[in-house]
Amino acid sequence: MSRASGGGVKLRELVGDIPEEAVGDSEGIYCTARVASGRWRLHIGAELRANDEVAFVIASDALAPRRISAAREFLECLRGRARAQRRVRSARTRSAFLHRAMLQALDGATGGASQREIAVAIFGNREVLERWSPDGELRARVRYFLRRGRALVQGEYRTLTYF
């Protein structure tokens, strides 16, 4: 079986982990994918792996136009879900960076490190060599991380639970 590599939909994007209610036989797995408000019955070929691209096989009978329309709708639902997941991942990544940077800044300050040394730990030596100045943006960010980290330690962390 040949596989295309045109950046198409991958199996893991369709079903994630194979649902418990999936039924398998020698030809593959039959399961239901829940995307947006729809439920879609899928047959996954036995040799298909999580990172393989998928193809839609549509019988060329009288119901073919309806099936093609359903396949298009399914792909649109997938694209919408992927966009939503990227937004969530992006927000989590930014939040994780900020919290990690605050903890690193606090650890460095507790250990007696200068603001420049803290900046090296957070942003890397190259970035600090290129962009550090006494009244620059990197130093302002380190001061922010220290101020925000101290506020969280002094009880402001409770506000994180009320999002």
Q: Greater confidence, 152 or 50?
A: 152
Q: Greater confidence, 151 or 160?
A: 151
Rounded to the nearest integer, the mean pLDDT of the chain is: 75
Residue 137: predicted pLDDT: 92
Instruction: Give domain status of residue 114, yes or no.
Output: yes
Instruction: Give domain status of residue 130, yes or no.
Output: yes
CA 101 remoteness from chain centre:
20
Cα–Cα distance, 57 to 59 (Å, whole number)? 7
Instruction: Give domain status of residue 38, yes or no.
Output: yes
**Span 83-93, average pLDDT:** 64
**Residues 74, 134 within the same domain:** no
Range of the domain at 121: 89-162
**Span 11-28, average pLDDT:** 61
**Residues 46, 104 within the same domain:** no
Q: What angle do CA 141, 147, 149 make, to 5 degrees?
A: 100
pLDDT band for position 89 (cuts 50, 70, 90): low
**Residues 30, 48 within the same domain:** yes
**Residues 54, 34 within the same domain:** yes
Instruction: Give domain status of residue 4, yes or no.
Output: no
Counting the structural domains of the chain, the total is 2
Q: Greater confidence, 147 or 155?
A: 147
